[in-house]
A = this chain, B = another copy of it.
Amino acid sequence: MSTDTTGTAPARPLVMSDVAARAGVSHQTVSRVVNGHPNVAPRTRERVQQAIAELGYRPNAAARALVTGSSRTIGLITIDVDQYGPAQTMIGLEQAARAAGYSLSVAILDRAGGLTIAEAVDRFVAQSVDAVVVHTAELQALEALEQVDPPVPLVAVQMGGEGLGTTVTVGQEAGAQLAVDHLLGLGHATVHHLAGPSYSVEARRRIHGWRTALARAGAAPGELWLGDWWPSSGHAVGTELARRIRAGEQVTAVFAGNDQMALGLMVALHEQGITVPGDVSVVGFDDVPEAPYFSPPLTTVRQDFAELGRRGVELVLARLAGEDGGSDQVEPRLLVRGSTGPVHD
C-alpha cells in the first residue's frame, strides 16, 4: 500500500533525518511540516511532503509522546462488551476518536475482579493517555471512580452518578416513562417491572423512572423483580409469573429492563400457556437487532448506543481543549411492535 520508489523495504526504521536528508532540509523543518506549522515556505513544504511519501515515513509515536507528554490516545475502560449496547458504544467511541486523530486503548473489566477500575486508570496514566473514558453502569465501579483522581480528563459514559464531573448518559428515566405511558395508554391498570441487577446504575434509574411514571399517572404501584440482564433470568421470572397468573393474579403488563430478559420472559410465559400480548403485554429496552424477530416481535425502547460513544468523545475533546464540556444526555425512543396490546378482560 505504501509508495516505495526505492523498491526495497527499509530494514532500519525511517527517522525524521532520513526524510530531511532526502528533502535537503533540517529535521526540524520536517517536524514543522509533519505537524502543520504555519511558517514553512510552500515549496519547501511540498518537497518535504514528497520525500515523506516516497520514503513512506511515519513519525515515531513514542518519541513524540515522550517530548509532548501526549500520546494522542484515549483509554477506554469498559465492561460487558459481549452485549450489544456496550459493543455499539465502543464502536461509536472508536470511530469518533479516530476521526479526531486519537487512537483507542481498551481495558475490559470483568466482574470476577481481574482488573479494578483504579488499576486500569493507573495503567492508562502510565501509558500517557490523554484522557480516560469509563463505560460502565456498575455501582461498585462508580464508587471506586470517586476515589480516583487522574491527572488527565476522565469522562464517564452511561453512568448515572452524581459528582462525577463530565458524564454522558441515556435518559433512562425518560425511557422508562415511554414504556410505562405506552402500556397505561393501552388500558393496563399498572405495569410491573423486571429490572436489571442491583449493582447496575442504569437498572436503578430505570426502576426510578418506572415508579415515577406510574405515580405521575396515578396508577397503582407495580411489582418489582430483579434479573441479571441475561435471558435465563427473564425465563425464571416468567415461569413464576405464569404460575401466579394461572392462580388468578392480575398481571397484564410487564416492562423488562432489557430485551434479552424480555425474551426469556416471553418464552417462559408461552411455555406455560400464557399468550403475549393477549394475556400479558411486554416491553423491552435496548432494541437489539433480533428484537423484531422475537415471537412476538418486541415492543421496546431504543437507545442510540453509538451516539453515546460519539458524545463521549466530544466531551473528551472539549475537556482537552480546556472547556468544561458539562454533561450530556441522549434521548431514547419507543418502538411499538407486536408484544404489546390492549387489555382483554
> Which residues of A pack against B, CB within 8 Å?
1-2, 9, 13, 58-63, 65-66, 71, 73, 81-84, 87-88, 90-91, 94-95, 98, 103-108, 110, 114-116, 118-119, 122-123, 125-128, 144, 147-149, 151, 230-232, 235, 260, 263-264, 267, 270, 289-290, 292-293, 295
Contacts and interface: CB of A to CB of B under 8 A. Distances in A.
Contact of A84 (B82, B95, B119): B82
Contacts of A127: 61-62, 103
Contacts of A119: 1
Nearest to A124: B103
A114 B98 CA distance: 10
Nearest to A70: B62
B231 A290 contact: yes
6 contacts: A73-B105, A82-B88, A94-B107, A231-B290, A267-B295, A290-B290
Contacts of A264: 293
A58 B125 contact: yes
Contacts of A147: 1
A126 B64 CA distance: 11
B98 A290 contact: no
A87 B88 CA distance: 10
Contacts of A290: 231, 260, 263, 290
Contacts of A270: 295
A305 to B, nearest CB: 9
B114 A107 contact: no
Contacts of A66: 60, 62-63, 66
A266 to B, nearest CB: 8
Contact of A293 (B58, B61, B231): B231
A133 to B, nearest CB: 13
A103 B98 contact: no
Given A1-B148, A62-B62, A235-B293, A81 B90 contact: yes
Given A61-B126, A81-B81, A91 B108 contact: yes
Contact of A71 (B58, B59, B62, B108): B62
B103 A123 contact: yes
B90 A149 contact: no
Nearest to A229: B289
A109 to B, nearest CB: 10
B149 A231 contact: no
Contacts of A260: 289-290
A293 B269 CA distance: 12
A290 to B, nearest CB: 6
A233 to B, nearest CB: 11
Nearest 7 A/B pairs, CB to CB: A1-B118, A62-B65, A58-B126, A62-B66, A231-B293, A82-B87, A94-B108
A103 B103 contact: no
Contacts of A232: 292-293
Nearest to A117: B1
A18 to B, nearest CB: 15
A9 B98 CA distance: 32
